Every structure is written in C-alpha cells, then in structure tokens.
C-alpha cells in the first residue's frame, strides 16, 4: 500500500501538484500568495536566462560598433596577424640557422613586399598591354551582337538599337553626379588605404619581432587564476590560425593556376585569351574569401571570355571554372583545409555571410579565421585541455599575436 501511494503521488509531483504528505506552503501575510509564488518555475528560469542573453547581446553589439568605428586600425592589425602567421615559419627557420631575429624579420618582410610588388606590377603591366586588344575585341563583339539583333525574330531596327543605346548613355549621364562624388572620394579612400598599408607593415614587423612579449602582456591583463586558461587557449587558437593561413594560400594558388592555365589553353584555340595573368591574380586574391571569392572572380573570367572570344569559349571557360571549383570543394577543402581547420562547411558559409553583412569585404575575409580561432580557443577552455598542454620551450611554439 505504501508503494502504491508513493507511485500515485508521482504524477502529482511531475505536474506541479502537491502530495498529501507534503507540508502545506505558508501563504503570505493576509492569506494572499506572494508574487514569486505565483510565477511558474519555467517562466522564472526563462526570464533569468533572457536578461543575461540580452546583456551578452548588447555587449557584442557594442563591441561590433566599436570595431566598425575603429576599422582603419582593426583591419590592418588583423591583416598583420594573418601575415605574421604566414611568415613566422620563415623567421624561425632563419633563426635556427643562426640568423639574428631582427635580421630574420627584416628578410621576411622584404621578401613579402617584393613578392606583392612583383605580383601587382605583373598584373598592371599585363592589363596595360592587353587592354587595347580587349577593347578591339569588345567592339567587334558589340558589332556582332548588333547584327544578331537585327537578324533576330525580334525585328529590331537600327533606330531601335540606337534608341536603346542612347537610353543607357542617358542613364549613365544622369548618374554622373554620383560618379563624380565617388571619384572625389577616391582621394580620401586612397589616403586611408595608404595609412592602412603602413600600419599593416609596422604591425607585422613588431608582431614578428616581439610577438611573444606582446602576448605575455595580454595574458597578464587577465586575473591570475584565468591566465593559464587564456594562455593555453590562445596558443591553441594561434596554431589553428597559422595552419589556416598557410593552407588557404596553397588553395588560392591552386585555384589561380587552374583557372589561369585553363584560360591560357583556351586562348591557344581562339586566337589568344586577354588578361590571363590579371585574371589569375584576381582569382588568387579572391580565393581568400571562402565560397564567394573564387566564384565571383571565376565569373569575371567567364565575362572576359564572352566579350573577347564569344559565347562558345565563354561556355568552355565556365566549365573550366566549375571544374576547378569542384576540385577545390571535393578534394582540397576536405583533405587539406579540413585537417588544418576543423570548421563545418555550414559554419563557413554562415560566417562569410554574416561577416559580409556586418563589415562588407573585410568581414567576409576575416570571418572564417576568426571563427576557426574562437572554435579552438573555446573548445580548449571548455574541455580543460589547457591544463595538460605543455608550456612551449622554443620560439616556434610561442604565439606572436
């Protein structure tokens, strides 16, 4: 009977009822229950979590607003961190061969600047040399399209085509004020770009040379009991960030070589493909924005093929771009990128989309590195792996940013 009574009381307890054996709750003064007693427990828990989540959301919004206001400083610092992660192996290799650290940093920075300068000089020279040919082919394509429209079932006349062309020209002239204002803002943009480049160079030099001491200073900002966790999670995140940068450079180079080589081979059969080197450089730079960058730059290659060579070569160029993208998505990303950065593809797409909404192109560029770093750092803290990770004994294991 006692067991049956105990079992019978379970539903009452489960649904918030009171068992006959429970002591009656004492009502508030005057026989009226207090406000806390009338609020269901589930609602109290939900409200407690809600205001905490609201505070966290407001803090994140304030942080994003501050970053947006200081983007002329934040963006160069983040670029410097990525460049440091890319070049630190070279600096360490030179140090292992008895080079002074200052000289090793200077050599690494000079090589980086030389490579970037040579790349852009080659692209600009190719554009200057290939633009007249592209212009001539574009005019020929326009004449061919004009003739095709005249002979099409649309029954367009020269007057109709001239009227439509004039409408396009008028629309451009009506927007001339916006174009002029954009041109006037180029000076300010170029000034910001120059300041950002100089800040990036200086930040990269100091991170390469004195990054370990900067990191120790950052760790000592935190309370003493949190320093070991911050240090361990930061080091784990830095290793992942370095792997991401080096693998991303490799993937971008493969994309650029694949699409550039395909355009060059296609040009052999159709009288030459203009701007092959600039397109390859553009694909290389665009590939640093996962998913979106390579597709956009590949579309530019298809557009150039359409203007310069015609529709059939453009379709072939589209096939080349899709083939390269399939190789990247099904071979390079799972086997190369997946081993370096353990971030789900859905998280990559959402990070790129969110970053582009918040900060445009810079947000799309830095979204995946930030997510990869935070993923490893938070996992290291949550699992307590920072307690078992040994302290680094040489400079190669010290984070430099």
Question: What b/e sequence results for 294-322 when a residue is b if at least 16 CB atoms lie within 10 Å of its CB, and e otherwise?
Answer: beebbebbbebbbbbbeeebbebbbebbe
What is the spatial distance between Cα 282 and Cα 293, in angstroms, rounded to a whole number?
A: 9
Task: Give the Cβ contact number of residue 206 at 10 Å.
Answer: 17
| Residue 326, C-beta contacts closer than 8 angstroms, at least 6 positions apart | none
Which residues, 6 or more positions from 109, have their beta carbon under 8 angstroms from its beta carbon? 87, 201, 204, 205, 208
Tell me the CA distances in angstroms from 211 to 227, 244, 395, one per residue in order.
17, 19, 10
Distance CA 401, CA 82 (A): 9
- Measured in whole angstroms, how far is the alpha carbon of residue 378 from the centre of its chain? 19
Distance CA 372, CA 81 (A): 14
Measured between alpha carbons, how far is 83 from 77 in angstroms, rounded to an integer?
10
**Structure confidence at residue 20 (pLDDT):** 44
Could you list the pLDDT tens digit for every one of the 401 residues in the chain? 444 444 444 444 444 444 444 444 555 555 555 555 677 888 888 888 998 999 989 998 898 888 888 888 888 999 999 999 999 999 999 999 999 999 999 999 999 999 989 988 988 888 887 777 777 777 777 777 777 777 777 777 778 777 877 777 677 666 555 544 554 444 456 777 888 889 999 999 999 999 999 999 999 999 999 899 999 999 999 998 998 898 888 888 988 999 999 989 988 887 778 788 888 998 998 888 776 777 888 888 898 888 888 888 889 999 999 998 888 777 776 677 666 677 777 887 888 888 888 878 888 888 888 988 998 999 899 888 888 765 544 333 445 44
Q: What is the pLDDT of residue 6?
A: 46
Which structure tokens are listed for 222?
């935190």
Nearest to 328 by CA among 245, 266, 320: 320
Greatest CA separation found in the chain?
102
User: Which pair of structure tokens corresponds to residue 128?
Assistant: 């200057």
CA distances from residue 148 to 54, 138, 145, 156, 160 in whole angstroms, order as listed: 61, 15, 5, 10, 14
Domain ranges of the chain: 70-174+187-221
């Amino acid at each position: 009977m006692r067991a049956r009574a105990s079992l019978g009381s379970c539903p009452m307890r489960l649904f918030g009822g009171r068992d006959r054996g429970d002591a009656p709750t004492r009502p508030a003064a005057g026989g009226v229950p207090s406000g806390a007693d009338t609020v269901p427990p589930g609602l109290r828990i939900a409200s407690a979590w809600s205001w905490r989540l609201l505070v966290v959301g407001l803090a994140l919004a304030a942080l994003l607003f501050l970053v947006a206001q200081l983007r002329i400083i934040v963006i160069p610092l983040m670029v410097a961190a990525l460049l440091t992660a890319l070049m630190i192996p070279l600096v360490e290799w030179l140090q292992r061969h008895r080079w002074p650290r200052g000289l090793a940093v200077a050599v690494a920075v000079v090589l980086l600047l030389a490579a970037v300068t040579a790349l852009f000089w080659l692209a600009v020279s190719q554009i200057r040399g290939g633009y007249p040919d592209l212009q001539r082919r574009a005019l020929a394509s326009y004449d061919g399209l004009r003739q095709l429209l005249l002979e099409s079932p649309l029954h367009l006349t020269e007057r109709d085509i001239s009227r439509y062309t004039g409408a396009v020209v008028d629309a451009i002239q009506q927007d001339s004020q916006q174009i002029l204002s954009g041109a006037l803002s180029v000076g300010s943009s170029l000034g910001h770009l120059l300041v950002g480049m100089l800040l990036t160079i200086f930040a990269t030099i100091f991170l390469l040379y004195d990054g370990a001491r900067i990191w120790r200073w950052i760790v000592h900002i935190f309370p003493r009991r949190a320093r070991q966790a911050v240090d361990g999670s930061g080091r784990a995140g830095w290793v992942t960030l370095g792997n991401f940068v080096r693998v991303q450079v490799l993937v971008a180079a493969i994309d650029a070589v694949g699409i550039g080589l395909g355009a060059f081979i296609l040009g052999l059969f159709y009288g030459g493909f203009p701007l092959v080197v600039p397109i390859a450089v553009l694909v290389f730079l665009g590939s640093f924005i996962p998913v979106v960058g390579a597709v956009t730059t590949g579309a530019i290659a298809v557009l150039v093929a359409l203007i310069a060579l015609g529709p059939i070569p453009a379709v072939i160029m589209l096939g080349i771009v899709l083939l390269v993208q399939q190789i990247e998505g099904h071979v390079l990303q799972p086997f190369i990128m997946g081993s370096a950065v353990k971030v789900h593809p859905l998280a990559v797409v959402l990070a790129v989309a969110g970053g582009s909404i918040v900060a445009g192109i810079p947000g799309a560029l830095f979204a995946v590195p930030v997510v990869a770093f935070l993923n490893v750092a938070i996992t290291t803290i949550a699992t307590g792996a920072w307690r078992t990770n040994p302290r680094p004994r040489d400079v190669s294991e010290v984070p430099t940013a």
